Each structure stands twice: as structure tokens, then as C-alpha cells.
Amino acid sequence: MSKYDIIVLGSGPGGYVTAIRASQLGFKTAVVEKESLGGVCLNWGCIPTKALIKSAQVFEYLKHAEDYGLKVKEAEADFDAVVKRSRGVAEGMSNGVKFLMKKNKIDVINGFGKLKPGKKVEVDGKEYSADHIVIATGARSRELPNLPQDGEKVIGYREAMTLKKQPKKMIVVGSGAIGVEFAYVYNSMGTEVTIVEYMDRIVPVEDEEVSKQLERSFKKNGIKIKTSSEVVSVDTSGDGVKATVKTKKGEEVIEADVVLSAVGIKTNIENIGLEDVGIAVDRDKILVNDYYQTNIPGYYAIGDVTPGQALAHVASAEGILCVEKIAGQHVEKLDYGNIPGCTYCSPEIASVGLTEQQAKDKGIDIKVGKFPFSASGKASAGGNKEGFVKVIFDAKYGEWLGCHMIGAGVTDMIAEAVLGRKLETTGHEVLKAVHPHPTMSEAVMEAVADAYDEVIHL
């Protein structure tokens, strides 16, 4: 039996990062992976979707070249080539993780891992033991009973990235990050897209003003949006799909070539031995303490299988914190109230902290500032005037309670707010920190200025 200090079950952005940090700390480490190194994020999620989105953005630039004083002969989207490029990017990233495993002297055990009592993992009939076992098995596309996925006419995100033929019509069920990103990609390349959202607005976890702006932008680009609606059944017996949608006005049937189910995720905790070991689970989440220890000593869990936000950067942070705690380092528990969320449709969305409504619901006296990109010189020069930056501060103490952005490149801007909140920055400190001009990021300073009635360019 092979013996390790730490075995990590799963090699997604939680698992492989955990393994590398463990190795850096001097632990003899192994990672178990049933499929491809990098997990869903690198192979079927975060990275290849961004490649698809980039192709869509380039295509949109080509279609609007005359807006920039350029003449381009009619551009065409080669769907197969777009998909091929996306898969190539994913393969390159997965190979990069292979290199990192080798560089950090981490053993990669290929196969399906199952937990055993006594700090053991069984992989395809062979047992391995460790002082510490970290569960990082991630999640997959969730299926609704009334929307079973057949992989052809009713699909999840994996199939959406590798369709053999571009659909003429697509229904996207759910308007979270996955739903709106794919809606943007397919609409940009010429597919007629309809979004069906159960809640009363799209991207419902975002600030209400952000939801309204995205809806305006999407509708302007021809995306049909049905909120306060749900798909109650699908008929796949014909050439395409007939979806019966219940709306506020009654039921209607929408026809499409394919339905993309983007209604959330389901954790991968089945058949991995949790019951055999006695690890406590609540619904489909593994229960852990602030340092990701389960109720059974020597077993830990991070990432999507735990109750925190199901985001790649959260899984990575949890894994690092977990093994640093095992190593005896002094670590601070993760602040889940200061986790940034990013959605990579166009316009992009990025946010952290409380929304305006959440702050009001808490009874906090707030100052709210907002700066539109239409007033930004950099945004005007770049032809990206849609969207805004919105900031929320505690009126009494100046605490930065929340920041919400929608516009071009905002996913690369939100870190300022995350860092500022981590350092307990006040509104006046942000306002007096000189921001470069002309940049998109100076909209943050301008939004803060608006909150304190000092805005110059609005």
C-alpha cells in the first residue's frame, strides 16, 4: 500500500491547487483524478467557455468594424472552428496542470477514487493511505425532473461547448452565469436565443440595477427574455424540441432545435464512500468547520461539495487555507462576505459584498454612488459605453459595503473593491487614491465621488 501525507480526491481548481500548496509545504502528496487534470473548470467550464466568449466578441467586432472606421468584407462564424479553438485552449491548460504536478513532485493516480475508513482511498481496486485526505470532487450540471437531459436536444453545459452543429434556435433555461454566458455566445454567432428564468429578473443574485441593464443589453441584441416563467415540460419526439413554458400570462409552447438546461449544479458526492467513512452530509453538501475538517478526523472537504459559494477561486482559496492549517500555520478563516462574483457575458458583470437592497434590508444608513460608462472617455473611445459602476458605503463609518459593475472588462476591475474591503478602506480613501486616466477603472473612483457628492465628470 502506497503511503502519503496528503491525498487529494479530485484535480479541479480546488484539488490541484490544494495538492500544489501541500507539496510546497513539504507534504508527500498525491491527487486522484477519474478524467482530466484541471477538472470541470479547465476542461469544461471556466476556461473553454471564455475561449468561446472571446470568439463571439471578435466576431461582434468584425460585424461592427465600420463603427471604428474600418471596412471588413462580410464576416462569417465558422462554428466548428470556434469549438475546436475552445477545446485546444482547454487541452493546453490541462497539459499545464500536468506540468505543475510533475514540477511539484505530486503523484497523479488516474481512476475513480473511493474513500475508505482508516484514512484510505481505493482507486480501481488498489488502496492508498494518507494522514490527511481532502475531498475536492466538485459538481456537475443539475437536472430538473421536468427537464431531463438527453445530451442531444436537452443539454447541459458540457454539450453546449461541443455541439456538432450550430442550432438555429435555442432555449436557455436559467439566467445565472452559465445561462447568460451561453446565451450571449450563441446569440452573437446568429442563433435565435430565448432565456426562460423562474425569478422575476435575470441574473437574480446581482444588484437589481445590474439585472435591468443586462436585460436591456440582451434585448437590444435580439435575445428574448421570459422572467417569472418556467419550463413545465419538453417534447423531443419531433425534429426539434417543443417546450411548454408557464408564464404570468399562461402557458405557451416555444419551438427550438435545442434546450440548454442551466439551472445550477449538483455535487459529486455519490459513490465516493462518504457513508462508509461516516462523513456528515446535509442534503448534497459535506459539512465542514472553518478549516474544512469534516466530522471524521483526517478527512477534509473543499470547493463545490461544501456549503460555500460554488466558484473556482473559492475552491482554490479553501484548499490553500485547509493545508496551511494542517501544516500548523496561523490562518484566518475565509470571509465569504468578500468573495467576488464574475459573469463573462457581454457586457460583463462583476460584484462583491452587499447589494443596495440587502444593505437596506439590514437597516444600514447608506451612501450610494453610480457612474455610467457613457461618461467615461476610455469607454467612449473603445466603443463600450454600456453599463456602470455602483458603490455602496455605510454613511456613518464610510465602510465599503458593496460594489457592482456591468460593462466591458469589469471582471478585471472588481479586485480593487475586494482588496479595498479586505483592508477596511473607507470611501474617502478610495476617492483620494489617484486613478489613471483614461481608464475604465477610474469609473470606480468616480462612482465613489458620486456617493459623496464630489463627482466631477457627471
Q: How far is CA 36 from CA 43, 49, 159, 234, 247, in A?
A: 7, 17, 17, 33, 41
Task: Return the amino acid letter for 65.
Answer: A
264 annotated binding-site participant: yes
304 annotated binding-site participant: yes
Residue 374: all three cell numbers together: 457613457
Integer distance in angstroms from the first to the last C-alpha of the chain? 69
156 annotated binding-site participant: no
391 annotated binding-site participant: no
Residues making up the chain, counted from first to last: 458
50 annotated binding-site participant: yes
Residue of 64, 330, 404, 437 marked catalytic:
437
180 annotated binding-site participant: yes
Residue 277: all three cell numbers together: 467513512
177 annotated binding-site participant: yes
437 is known as an active-site residue? yes
113 annotated binding-site participant: yes
CA distance 6 to 9: 10
179 annotated binding-site participant: yes
> 7 and 134 in contact (C-beta within 8 Å)?
yes
Half-sphere exposure of 161 (CA within 13 A, CB side): 26
Residue 452: all three cell numbers together: 459623496
Q: How far is CA 225 from CA 97, 169, 196, 398, 427, in A?
A: 39, 14, 6, 38, 37
10 annotated binding-site participant: no
197 annotated binding-site participant: yes
- Active site residues per annotation: 437
Binding site feature residues for FAD: 50, 113, 304
Binding site feature residues for NAD(+): 174-181, 197, 264
Binding site feature residues: 50, 113, 174-181, 197, 264, 304
